[in-house]
Amino acid sequence: MNTPTQNTPAPGAQQSLSIPQAMQLAFEHHGAGRLAEAEGLLRKILQVAPQHATALHLLGVIAQQAGNLELGVQLLQQAVQLAPGEAQFLSNLAEMCRRLGRLEEAVRHGEQAIALAPQSALAQSNLGIAYYDQGDLARAKACQQRALALNPRMPAALNNLGSILRDEKDKPGAIDCYRQVLAIAPDHAEAASNLGSVLCESEQPEEALKVLLPLVKARPNYAEAHSNLATAFLLQEQLDKAEFGFRRALALKPEYPEACIGLAKVLQEKRCLAEAEASALRGLQIAPDKAELHSVLGGILTESGYPEKAEAAYRQALSLDPKLITGYLGRGHLRMENGDMAGARADFEHALSLDEENLGARLALVQVDKVKEGDANMAALVASAQQLESLPEIKALPLHFALGKCYEDTREYDLAFQHYQQGCQLKRKRIDYSADATDRLNQNIRGFFSQENIDRLRGAGCSSELPIFVLGMPRSGTTLTETILASHSAVYGAGELHDILEIANHPRGQSAQPYPASLEGITQAELQIMGERYVAGLQKRAPGSARITDKMPANFQCLGLIHLMLPKAKIIHVKRNPVDTCLSNFTRLFNKSQYQSYDLVELGRYYRHYAALMEHWRAVLPADAFYEIQYEELVADQEGQARAMLDYCGLEWEEACLDFHKTERSIRTASVTQVRQPIYKTSVEKWRHYEQHLGPLLDVLGDLIER
């Protein structure tokens, strides 16, 4: 190595301080975190000995630590040129090049380092990271394993090996590696964050919280830890905590696509679809080639009522990552909604081929059509049930609902109910729902929409005849009703839209109070603007359509508001046997909301809330304000009921309305498979199969039913 003589004093230092002594002092400053003092001393050394390779190397390391990677690389390149046999210099240069994305240089320097020092665990590990960034997992893994053979307690190599195993889908192996790191170095923040993340991927959010909560407390400015913690809360359906965490992560690290994904998912769960889409698009500005972002956007667009755009988003996601399971599942559900059952099945089966343990794919396959004896998917689910006791709740929950559907289809009703009930119990533990709050909402709606208020506000509104609303209890026949209407050449079926509920909660764009308090002080002029705002949203979905349906069942809560906003709109209320309606809700794992559905007593209370509110609308609105149809009558006399319904809507009869199951349109609802076949009557009085299990529900419904 070309270095100055040891007796040369460092400039500005005492005459007794030689350059080796000055270097020693610089190392001490650096080791103690006094970077400015170390840098100052090194620069003085280099004034006297500009070719001092060790000084250049340490100065480059300090530049990198200060965030100036380009300068760090330049200084290390000079050091390597002066001392080409120093493996440490080459290894550190490789790592800096890697961080700058100069991966070919990183690998070249890393290979040179281990050729000089094959026994250097650090050099082996650094080379492994460069290979990892190149996507060469085999070489990356071999490097980390050689590093650990040399130093079995090397935290960096264990952490890196964990990340490789995670990418190889060996999540238990990854978890073990990260736990080993923390056993050796309890304060290793990156390993703790990685462990929390892979525990979330393994659907163990409770275990993830044990790791991530202390980490965030110790490292409050660690963006990745906040994002991983938010993911754990999202898996537990603690949406407010999850939203806070993702927003905190983005405040700390604005260019963070993973946090954008998480925030988009939370906002979608909260039904804030415009904000969810904005978060996904923000992520795509940062990382346009991130497949998961396109997949998340596809789900949001599906729910927002834009199936063509959703299809394009899924197509892009799968072109970027042909092994993206969420992309196949999302596109499969979209294909189901569009009536392409064969395509949906193909997507679900492909997702399952990528991960045989994926319960989401198995649950989806169960929903495609009726399960028959000897069904291979059912056999796999039944086999999985042997491990139900040991499965994390997040996995056991969908498995119970899938088994319930299997046993119901094969007419083993007692077994089916057992699984439905256990699935509902697990789901109820995870959600925040208050039947008392629902009762108060009901009272508040009836209080605001008094006869006096309605009479005072009536007379304006938007005069458009474009909308046809189909509303009622979920699972009451609203999908069937809308599909019959959408089979008419003049009608576009837009499905379940959140637009009315969004306008009700934010009538002036923003509101500090939820509906109906949000409407305090509302004027006729504002009601007209709200109606026009709604119609504009409809027209964006189907420009040029004469009539557009909105089949959001929960719009029954806003029926009076719809009447005032859109006095010429047609409103169809679908009624169904109360017990069949409630049972159909109880036996369905909804994608989002419908939180009242997972407890028989709460479900009965909700039905009573709905029935009381509909009775209120009958009392305070004109007799022709809405049209009512009975599901059981529609099933028994499809043509007669359909003709009467079309007549109410001012539409001429078309035979296509009898062949509704052939209509090509998107159907975004739990009833998607039922309306892809002709009307059948097996769903009428279906509750009799489960009667012995429904006592709590029947008691709450009381006078609303005939036993």
pLDDT in tens, 108-130: 999 999 999 999 999 999 999 99
Share of the chain above pLDDT 90, in %: 79
Grade residue 679 by pLDDT with cuts at 50, 70 and 90.
low
Residue 606 pLDDT exceeds 90: yes
Token pair 């069942």 is at which residue? 553
Residue 446 pLDDT exceeds 60: yes
SS3 string of 405-456? HHHHHCCCHHHHHHHHHHHHHHHHHHCCCCHHHHHHHHHHHHHHCCHHHHHH
For residues 521 and 453, the answer to whether their CB atoms sit within 8 Å is no
pLDDT of residue 62: 95
pLDDT of residue 367: 87
580: its two tokens:
């069949």
Residue scoring higher pLDDT (368 or 6):
368
pLDDT tens-digit map of 214-227? 999 999 999 999 99
φ/ψ of residue 271, rounded to 5:
70, 20
pLDDT tens-digit map of 235-283? 998 999 999 999 999 999 999 999 999 999 999 998 889 999 999 999 9
**Least confident interval from 14-18, 32-36, 204-208:** 14-18
Residue 14 pLDDT exceeds 70: no
For the chain, the straight-line distance linking the first and the last C-alpha, in angstroms and rounded, comes to 97
pLDDT of residue 662: 60
Residues contacting residue 283 through CB under 8 Å, at least 6 positions apart: 257, 260, 261, 264, 290, 293
pLDDT of residue 670: 43
Residue 661 pLDDT exceeds 60: yes
pLDDT of residue 336: 85
CA pair distance 228, 196, nearest whole angstrom: 6
SS3 state at 523: coil
φ/ψ of residue 488, rounded to 5:
-80, 140
Q: What is the mean predicted confidence (pLDDT) over 464-468?
A: 97
Residue 666 pLDDT exceeds 50: no
Residue 616 pLDDT exceeds 90: yes
Q: Where is 496: in which H helix or E strand?
A: none
Do the strands 491-493 and 547-550 form a parallel or antiparallel pair, or are they unpaired? parallel
Grade residue 511 by pLDDT with cuts at 50, 70 and 90.
low
Q: What is the mean predicted confidence (pLDDT) over 584-588?
A: 95
Grade residue 430 by pLDDT with cuts at 50, 70 and 90.
confident
515: its two tokens:
């509906």
Number of residues written out for the chain: 707
Please choose, from the candidates 138, 121, 118, 66, the residue with its C-alpha nearest in 3D space to the C-alpha of residue 96.
Answer: 66
Please choose, from the candidates 307, 291, 226, the residue with its C-alpha nearest in 3D space to the C-alpha of residue 668.
Answer: 307
The one-character DSSP state at 664 is -
Grade residue 16 by pLDDT with cuts at 50, 70 and 90.
low
For residues 437 and 399, the answer to whether their CB atoms sit within 8 Å is no
pLDDT tens-digit map of 67-114? 999 999 999 999 999 999 999 999 999 999 999 999 999 999 999 999
CA pair distance 199, 343, nearest whole angstrom: 33
Residue 665 pLDDT exceeds 90: no
Grade residue 306 by pLDDT with cuts at 50, 70 and 90.
confident
Q: What is the pTM of this model?
A: 0.78
Residue 134 pLDDT exceeds 80: yes
Residue 7 pLDDT exceeds 50: no
pLDDT of residue 674: 46
**Mean pLDDT across the chain:** 91
Share of the chain above pLDDT 70, in %: 94
Q: What is the mean predicted confidence (pLDDT) over 312-319?
A: 98
pLDDT of residue 70: 94
Grade residue 489 by pLDDT with cuts at 50, 70 and 90.
very high
pLDDT of residue 5: 34
Q: What is the mean predicted confidence (pLDDT) over 562-589?
A: 96
pLDDT of residue 245: 98
Grade residue 677 by pLDDT with cuts at 50, 70 and 90.
very low
pLDDT of residue 359: 82
The strands making up 547-550's β-sheet, listed across from edge to edge, are 491-493, 547-550, 467-472, 570-575, 627-630
The one-character DSSP state at 18 is B
